[in-house]
Structure 1
Amino acid sequence: MPDGLLGVAWPSIRAGFSIPLDALGMLLTASVAGYLTSSTLSGPLMSRFGVGSVLAASCALTGIGLIGYTLVPVWWMMVLLGVLAGLGAGAIDAGLNTYVAAHFGEGLMQWLHASYGIGVTLGPIIMTVALTTFESWRVGYQAAGVFQILLAGAFMLSLPMWNQKDQPADDAPKRLTDYKTPMSETLRQPKVWGSVLLFLLYTGAEAGVGMWAYSLLTESRGIDPKMAGFFAGSYWATFTLGRIVAGLYAKRAGVNLLVMGGLAGAWVGSVLLWWNPAAWVNLLAVALIGFAVAPIFPALTSGTSARVGAHFAANTIGMQMAAAGLGVAAGPGLIGVIARQTSLEMVPVCLFVLFTVLLALYGVASGKKASEPN
């Protein structure tokens, strides 16, 4: 939910603090720094304190950060609180992904990520109500912050459930969260870095479509802004729908089919967007990419153990979440730099290159069965 607040709130925040338009980069950088730090360290933290404790503390940190936004009198204090909110968000993402990967099937992982789309949709609605009804962006952040604090309390009350240790049979396989592999050992594994690179490139492509589709259609291809907004909105609509559908068929399809099929569909969509034979093809291309990429992130997360080995999976998932946060920030930014130096028509070319590289990289990563250390 917090991810959807800032876009709507930013004009009011900027006016309130009397800061320039590009000051947004300071807050985003601070948040990403916190996100990268906590998600990278989530594996060791969960090994020491347990998943439930990490989730409770992370929600509390996020809630304090969001409410703090509304209380500080100067901009630099809000930037510092961005680090705090990012620390909480990174550990929440990594903790939930690790827990679901360890205890549940691919279907639930898809639905977990489908809920992200719902939350991102609710965020702008909450902030719009705050601005139109209460005439204050602070009310929107206060509502989201209180929700995070309540969620932290719920995690605290349910700690026994999150941290309980089952008594499996002697020959039963360990879960990902049962391993206590040192981070230093995980960092020495080339297959881990290959898996991390997958997330960096994938999230850069996913965010790149969402960020630049509207600009491409309006500024370069002359499509009416209202129609272009509908085209761009179809990306997130089919994205959320795709994850819901994938949750129904994930167990039957398997991780590799979801990822390879999704990347292949996105590759075709990027070709159509690049080709651009008619205006309606843009709608088809953007919607196809949204539906195709939908299952990739959760499927990649579920398949972490198969790619890198169960001993390294918990630490790797945290690193992957960090790479995802970096990709969301760096991918659209890099595409924007290329587009500014050339033209917006380079956007679909960049997407084509990214999806081509991802297809090749995943083919290599999934073709080698991970071996476990003795």
Structure 2
Amino acid sequence: MENEAQAVNVRKNQSRVGLVLLAFIAFISLGLPDGLMGVAWPSVRHQFSQPLDSLGYLLIAGTIGYTLSSFFSGKIMSRLGVGGLLAASCALTAGSLLGYTLAPVWWVMVGLALFAGMGGGAIDAAINTYVAAHFAEGLMQWLHASFGVGITLGPIIMTLGLKNTGAWRTGYLEVGSAQLLLAVCFILTAAMWRNGQSAGKEAERNLADYHTPLSETLREPRVWLSILLFFLYTGMEVILGNWAYTLLTESRGIAPQTAGLWTGSYWATFTLGRMLAGLYTRRIGGRKLVAGSLLLALIGGLLLWWNPSNTVGLVGVATIGFAIAPVFPALVSLTSDRVGLKHAANTIGMQISASGLGAALLSSLAGVLARRISLEIIPVYLVGINTLLIGIFLTSIILSRRQDLAR
């Protein structure tokens, strides 16, 4: 009997390890498409004769799809299971990316972006929910680091595609094909996800213990500050990812291959930062980690703005990537600290929605400003957002401490 129990435990542990690896692969796949467009955009807009700020149409379409799929992911997951939802989402994303390679006109690209966003939103919601329900919080930093791996590879894949074939569609063909293979992998492993779900039902019940009315949560000023943090942070993260390559090539005259590699370095240092945060978060503490990260990102933004030489500007890009890496996962973990346990469940959902809106709207506004003023407005814009973020984060800490004292 003892040997049988040990064998069962070994199988359970192996299954958990397998699920963690699959979750990481899913987040790598989530990051790959996000890293492509920043490098592809100059070629895409020239081919379709679009102005600089038309990137906003793609971002807004993707955000609409992302918001819709993440909102309904719970209902879909209850029917398809996590594995089924991941398989369907990867297939939808793959179809959209492969569709980019055939798109004859600009508005077909925009329509496909809607479906790509739907696939990405469902993957994001499913994996975050699963990991939060079944694994320790420390795993969240590593999970988001795997997203960084994908988004680091994206610019490199697109740069090599442009170099070898001269066509931006090559990068989307390669990543779309990889997404299709992942969809097959998730279909084949659907049973593993179902077994993992049944083993973790108590954790899922604990997450659903709070039933605070949404109207009550929305009356809390701390909640609105927390939502605004995610809106601004994600916007800042995406702005540089989408516009660094264009800034470096079209405004500063850096060779496309060099600019592509340095855009990739933004996401590479981003990934490294999350890996290190996974090791040291407990020692440093979440509040200090976020505050220090935002201050270092501000220094990187000032270097990119100052730009006395191309080297200093490029170092600024890499510094920002490294600095902001742990902020999103840490802010998620600190949600109950900022708004209280009673409102945490409601607030987390609204924060994720706000992050998608911030990514689309603030990055689109960057394009409008760049077209009307200059591409050099982008680092100024980043520094402004970063400064505002620091102020709001410190304000949220003060409000949280006052609330604690009032109790």
Same fold (TM over 0.5): yes
Give how far 1:281 is off.
1.9
User: Could you tell me which residue of structure 1 aligns to residue 32 of structure 2?
Assistant: 4
Give how far 1:198 is off.
0.8
Distance in 2 (CA, whole Å) between partners of 1:163 and 1:178 is 18
After the TM superposition, which residues 1-374 of structure 1 pair with which residues of structure 2 at under 5 Å, given as runs? 1=29, 3-5=31-33, 7=37, 21=50, 28-40=59-71, 45=74, 53=81, 56-67=84-95, 70=98, 82-101=113-132, 103-123=134-154, 140-151=175-186, 154-165=189-200, 175-369=206-400
The worse-fitting range, judged by mean Cα deviation, of 344-353 and 110-119 is: 344-353
Q: 1:31 to 1:62 in 2, by over 3 A?
A: farther
Distance in 1 (CA, whole Å) between partners of 2:215 and 2:83 is 24
More helix by share: 2
Task: Give a deviation string over 1:204-259, Cα, whole Å, max 9, x none.
Answer: 11122223333333443444555444443332221111111111111211211111
The worse-fitting range, judged by mean Cα deviation, of 95-104 and 326-335 is: 95-104
Q: Is the 8 A contact 1:55 1:95 kept in 2?
A: no
Give how far 1:124 is off.
6.2
Give how far 1:79 is off.
5.6
Give how far 1:145 is off.
2.6
Give how far 1:353 is off.
0.8
Give how far 1:84 is off.
4.2
Q: Is the 8 A contact 1:102 1:177 kept in 2?
A: no
Amino acid at match of 1:249: Y
Q: Is the 8 A contact 2:89 2:122 kept in 1?
A: no
Distance in 1 (CA, whole Å) between partners of 2:333 and 2:383 is 25
Task: Give a deviation string over 1:317-349, Cα, whole Å, max 9, x none.
Answer: 232222222222222221222222222332221
* TM-score, length basis structure 2: 0.73
Q: Give unmatched runs, 5+ long, in structure 1.
A: 169-173
Q: Is the 8 A contact 2:31 2:147 kept in 1?
A: no
Give how far 1:179 is off.
3.3
Q: Is the 8 A contact 2:81 2:193 kept in 1?
A: no
Aligned partner of residue 189 in structure 2, secondary structure: helix
Aligned partner of residue 208 in structure 1, secondary structure: helix
The worse-fitting range, judged by mean Cα deviation, of 20-29 and 345-354 is: 20-29
Q: 1:138 to 1:241 in 2, by over 3 A?
A: closer
The worse-fitting range, judged by mean Cα deviation, of 50-59 and 210-219 is: 50-59
Q: 1:367 to 1:54 in 2, by over 3 A?
A: farther
Distance in 1 (CA, whole Å) between partners of 2:286 and 2:225 is 17
Distance in 2 (CA, whole Å) between partners of 1:112 and 1:197 is 23
Q: Is the 8 A contact 1:236 1:290 kept in 2?
A: yes
Identity rate of aligned residues, in percent? 48
The worse-fitting range, judged by mean Cα deviation, of 333-342 and 352-361 is: 333-342
Amino acid at match of 1:63: A
Distance in 1 (CA, whole Å) between partners of 2:323 and 2:264 is 15
Aligned partner of residue 343 in structure 1, secondary structure: coil
Amino acid at match of 2:268: A
Q: Is the 8 A contact 2:303 2:313 kept in 1?
A: yes
Q: Is the 8 A contact 1:176 1:311 kept in 2?
A: no
Amino acid at match of 1:161: G
Amino acid at match of 1:154: T
The worse-fitting range, judged by mean Cα deviation, of 240-249 and 54-63 is: 54-63
The worse-fitting range, judged by mean Cα deviation, of 251-260 and 150-159 is: 150-159
Task: Give a deviation string over 1:181-209, Cα, whole Å, max 9, x none.
Answer: 45555444433332121111111111222
Amino acid at match of 1:267: L
Q: Give unmatched runs, 5+ long, in structure 2.
A: 1-28
Q: Is the 8 A contact 2:156 2:261 kept in 1?
A: no
Q: Is the 8 A contact 1:196 1:316 kept in 2?
A: yes
Give how far 1:354 is off.
0.7
Q: 1:99 to 1:146 in 2, by over 3 A?
A: same
